[in-house]
Structure 1
C-alpha cells in the first residue's frame, strides 16, 4: 500500500454513491447557501477591525481578499464538480496527497468552521447589545457582554446564541430552512439600505490619508477582512446533496462570491466616505492593535457623538446613526441581530459535514456520527461543536477569533490550489465538466495569496494554528492512523464492518425537496 495512503477518486465516488445523502439542492439554493454563509460578522463587524489596521485603505484589503478567494473559488469549482461528495478540501486532499495531509486539512477545517461560528456569535452579541440599548433603553452590564480582553468577565449573549443554534441543529426543525432563506434576504436588504444611504453622503476628504499605516497595514487588514468572504467554500460541503453538481456547484461558489464582493466594496466606500474610517492611535501616537485592551481604553475617551467607527461593535448601524439616520441605523442593527445566527448555523452545519466524512473514512470515532433516533440529526458531534463554540465566544474578541479561523481557511485553500494542479498531472483524462480557466496561473496565484495572508496574520493566530495542527497529528497517530478504512484495506462502503457510523445524516435541517419534503 502506498505509504501516503492515497484514496482514489473512484473509491471516493463509489463510497458516496452507495452511502450518500439525498440530492435536493439546485443552483439558486446553493447560491443562497453561499451568500448566507458569507454575509455575516465579516462585513457587519470586522469593518471596524480592518479600519483600525488600514484606514480607508481597507478598500484595498477588500480587493486583495476577494482576489485570493476568487482564485480559490475557481479551483474549488473544478474539484467540487469533479468530485461531488461531502468533505470539501479534506476529500480533495485525500485523493491527491494522501491520508496524513488530508487529516491536517480536515483538522484545519474544524478550526475554520468552529472558530468562525464563535466569531459570528461575538459579532451578533455586539449588535444585540446595541439593539437592546437603543430600542429598550436597557444598558447591559459590561462584565456580562465582554470577555476579559475588553475588561469584562464573559460575553453572555454570545454564549446564549451559540447554544440556541446548537439546539436548533439538534432538533432539525422543518422551519429552519425557511427561516434561513428569510434571514439571507434580511441581510441583503440591510446592506442595500446602508449602501443607498451612505454612499450618496460620501465626501472625498474622508479618504485622506488613504493608507495611514502603509501597505503592510492594508495587507494585515486583508488577513482579517478575509473572514468576510469565508463561507462560499461551505457550498462545496453540500456537493453530495446537490442536483446536477457538475453545473450547480460552480454556479453556487462563484455566484455567491461575486454578489458579496460587490456589496462589500459599496459598503466599505459608504463607511469611509460618509463617516470616516481612520484608525485610533495611542497617547504616544502608536498604532493600537484591534481588539486590544489599549484600544478599548482609548475608545473610552470619546463621546458617543464622536466615537470613531473603529471603536464600535456595530459599525454599520453606528455610521447610519451618526450621519442622520438613527432610526434606520437601529433597524439595521436589529436586522443584523436577527440575521447573523444563520451564519452560526451555516458554519456549524458545515463542520458536521466534515466530521461526517472523516468519520465515514474511519479517522474519527464512530460515535461522532451517531444519529439521534428521533430527530435524525448527528446530535453528538453537534453538541460537542456547540459547546466548543460557546466557550470560545464567551472569552475571546471577534478579531482574534476571525484571525484564528482564517488560519484554518487559508490552509484549506492552499491545499485545494495544489490539489487541482496535481490532479491535472496525475489524472488528466478524468471528465471535468467545469475546468478552471488558466489553471497554471490561477492555482499558483491562489496558493501564493494564501501564504501571503497567512504571513500577515497575528502571531497569536499563527501559534494557535500550528498548536492545533500538532494536537491533530497526535490524535491521528494515536487513533486515526490504525483505524482508517484505507489502513484496513476497506475501499468502499459496501465492505464496511458493523462498527462504521450510521450514514443517515440529513442535509441542512428543513431544506425542501421539489416534492415538498425535507431532505
Structure 2
C-alpha cells in the first residue's frame, strides 16, 4: 500500500484534455481580480476596522504579503505542471497521492464555503437595492434560518438563485464564463475608482489616531476573540482567497507557462493596492469604532457619512457585481479540482465527464453548484468563513513546501517561471501562513479537524482503491509508471 505514490512532471504534462484553451493573460488577471475584490471591500472591512482600527490597512498588507509569497510558489508550479487541479495537482507531483487528496478535499470545502458565504452577503445588498425601489421580498425568504436576531427567517432565496445563475454560466462554456467575468470585473473596478475619487476629499486624518488601538495582538477583557493587526489579517485574508483558483484554469489557458504566473501575480498586485487605498479612505472618513453601526455594509455606511446618497446606489451595484465574480471564480475552481480528482480516479467518473457541446465538466459543475446554493440558502454560514481561511492557509503551506522539495529533488525540471529568492520565498510564505493561522480561534481548528477526518475516511474507503495509480487498475489507466 503506497500512500505516497506520485505523478511525474512528464505524466502531468502529457495528460490530454477535452477542455478548450481560450484564456489569455488579461482573462486570467480579470479572473484573479474577480475572485479577490468583492467581499473583502464590501463586507469584511467593517469587522476588520473594529478588530484593528485604522491599522486595518497594515492587516491587508500583511495578508497580501503572505499571498504574494504563496503566489510566487503557485506561479512556479503552474509553469512546471500546467494542468487543472491547482494545489491538488502540485501536491500529487511533490508529495504523493494521500497529501494530494487531503489538499483537494480541503479545497473543495474552501471554495464551496466561500461561495456560500458570499451568497449571503450578496443577498443582503440585493435586498437593500430592492428596498430603494419600494420592493420587498417576504422577510422569511431573505436569509437562512436564524441568521438575523429577533427576525424569523427560513431561506435565503436571493442567495440561492444567484448561485444557480452563476452555475449555469459556468456550465455552458469557458468562453461565456470569461466574457461575463471580464465585463463584471471592469464594471466593479470602475465603481471602486469612482468611490475613491468622490470620497477621498472627506478624509479626516484625525480619525486615524490612534492608528493601531489594539496593537499587534491582544485580548480585550470579556472577549474570546483576539484583537489587533494579526487577528484582523486572519479575517481579511478571506478577501484574497481566489487567486489560487487562477491556476485551476491551466488546461483552458493559452501558453500557460507564461500566462498563468502573470495572471496570478498581476491580480494580486492590483487588488492589494485597491484594498489598502480603500481601507485608508474608509477609516479616514469614519472613526474605526463607529463601524459597529454598519458592520454588514461598511461601504454604504461610509457613503452616508459623506452625505452623497446618490453614490450609495452605484456602490450597491458594485457590491453585487463584485460578489458575483467572487462566486463565479470559486465555483469555477471547485469544478476544475473535482474534474482533476475524478480523472485520477479519486472521485467518481461523474465529476470528470465533459459535455460534448460546452466542453465543461457539466454534471460536476451542477452537482456542487446546487449543493452550494442550498448551503447558502439554508445554513447560517457567516460564522464559518474562518474555516475557509484555515483551509486555504493549509494549502498555501503545502504548495510552498512543495517548491522547497521540488528544487531539491528535481532541480533540472523545466520551469517556465522560477520563484525568486528560493529557499527564502517559500519559507517566508510558510511562516506568514502559520502566523495567520495562529490568529484563528479554536472552534475553527476543531471544525477543520472534523472535515479532515471525513476526508481521510473517504480516501481509505473509496479513493485509494480506485486511484489510476493503483497497480490493480493498470488496465484502466494504461501503463502509468508510479514514481517511488
TM-score by length of 1: 0.84
Question: By how many angstroms is 1:140 displaced?
Answer: 4.5
Deviates more, 1:445-454 or 1:475-484: 445-454
Distance 2:28 2:476 in 1: 27
1:68-107 superposed matches below 5 A: 68-107=66-105
Alignment partner for residue 298 of structure 2, among 282, 304, 315? 315
Alignment partner for residue 387 of structure 1, among 357, 370, 378? 370
1:430-509 superposed matches below 5 A: 430-488=413-471, 495=478
Answer yes or no: is the 8 Å Cα contact 2:87–2:103 preserved in 1: yes
Answer yes or no: is the 8 Å Cα contact 1:199–1:266 preserved in 2: no
* Aligned equivalent of 2:185: 184
Gap change, CA 1:173 and 1:420, over 3 Å in 2:
closer
Distance 2:258 2:174 in 1: 29
Question: By how many angstroms is 1:496 displaced?
Answer: 8.3
Question: By how many angstroms is 1:363 displaced?
Answer: 0.3
Alignment partner for residue 145 of structure 1, among 142, 147, 150? 142
Deviates more, 1:206-215 or 1:339-348: 206-215
Question: By how many angstroms is 1:190 displaced?
Answer: 1.3
Is 1:5 equivalent to 2:2 in the alignment? no
Answer yes or no: is the 8 Å Cα contact 1:72–1:416 preserved in 2: yes
Question: By how many angstroms is 1:310 displaced?
Answer: 5.6
Runs of 5+ unmatched residues, structure 1 = 280-307, 498-519
Answer yes or no: is the 8 Å Cα contact 1:169–1:382 preserved in 2: yes
Could you list the per-position Cα deviations for residues 208-267 of structure 1 after superposition, in whole angstroms to 9, with x for gaps in the alignment?
Answer: 233333322221111110111111111111112222222111111110100000000011
Gap change, CA 1:103 and 1:310, over 3 Å in 2:
farther
1:51-70 superposed matches below 5 A: 51-70=49-68
Answer yes or no: is the 8 Å Cα contact 1:319–1:329 preserved in 2: no
Secondary structure at 2:423 match in 1: helix
Distance 1:421 1:310 in 2: 46
Deviates more, 1:55-64 or 1:344-353: 55-64
* Aligned equivalent of 2:348: 365
* Aligned equivalent of 1:289: none
Alignment partner for residue 263 of structure 1, among 269, 274, 293? 274
1:328-407 superposed matches below 5 A: 328-372=311-355, 375-396=358-379, 399-407=382-390
Could you list the per-position Cα deviations for residues 267-316 of structure 1 after superposition, in whole angstroms to 9, with x for gaps in the alignment?
Answer: 1011100122226xxxxxxxxxxxxxxxxxxxxxxxxxxxx366342221
Gap change, CA 1:331 and 1:203, over 3 Å in 2:
same
Gap change, CA 1:492 and 1:406, over 3 Å in 2:
farther
Gap change, CA 1:377 and 1:79, over 3 Å in 2:
closer
Secondary structure at 1:278 match in 2: helix
Distance 2:455 2:438 in 1: 21
Answer yes or no: is the 8 Å Cα contact 2:47–2:295 preserved in 1: no
Question: By how many angstroms is 1:392 displaced?
Answer: 2.6
TM-score by length of 2: 0.90
Alignment partner for residue 324 of structure 1, among 286, 290, 307? 307
Runs of 5+ unmatched residues, structure 2 = 218-226
Answer yes or no: is the 8 Å Cα contact 1:118–1:392 preserved in 2: yes
Distance 2:449 2:475 in 1: 33
Distance 2:473 2:407 in 1: 26
Distance 1:390 1:3 in 2: 34
Distance 1:190 1:493 in 2: 52
Deviates more, 1:148-157 or 1:90-99: 148-157
The number of equivalent residue pairs is: 466
Could you list the per-position Cα deviations for residues 441-490 of structure 1 after superposition, in whole angstroms to 9, with x for gaps in the alignment?
Answer: 11011011112212222333222221111111100000000110111366
Question: By how many angstroms is 1:46 displaced?
Answer: 1.1
Question: By how many angstroms is 1:420 displaced?
Answer: 0.3
Gap change, CA 1:223 and 1:150, over 3 Å in 2:
same
Deviates more, 1:202-211 or 1:409-418: 202-211
Gap change, CA 1:363 and 1:460, over 3 Å in 2:
same
Distance 1:372 1:33 in 2: 22
Distance 1:27 1:496 in 2: 35
Distance 2:474 2:299 in 1: 51
Question: By how many angstroms is 1:369 displaced?
Answer: 2.1
Distance 1:494 1:484 in 2: 9
Answer yes or no: is the 8 Å Cα contact 1:40–1:228 preserved in 2: yes
Gap change, CA 1:431 and 1:374, over 3 Å in 2:
closer
* Aligned equivalent of 2:224: none
Gap change, CA 1:251 and 1:174, over 3 Å in 2:
closer
Question: By how many angstroms is 1:100 displaced?
Answer: 0.5
Distance 2:3 2:181 in 1: 44
Answer yes or no: is the 8 Å Cα contact 1:49–1:310 preserved in 2: no
Deviates more, 1:478-487 or 1:176-185: 176-185
Secondary structure at 1:485 match in 2: coil
Gap change, CA 1:398 and 1:318, over 3 Å in 2:
farther
Is 1:231 equivalent to 2:232 in the alignment? no
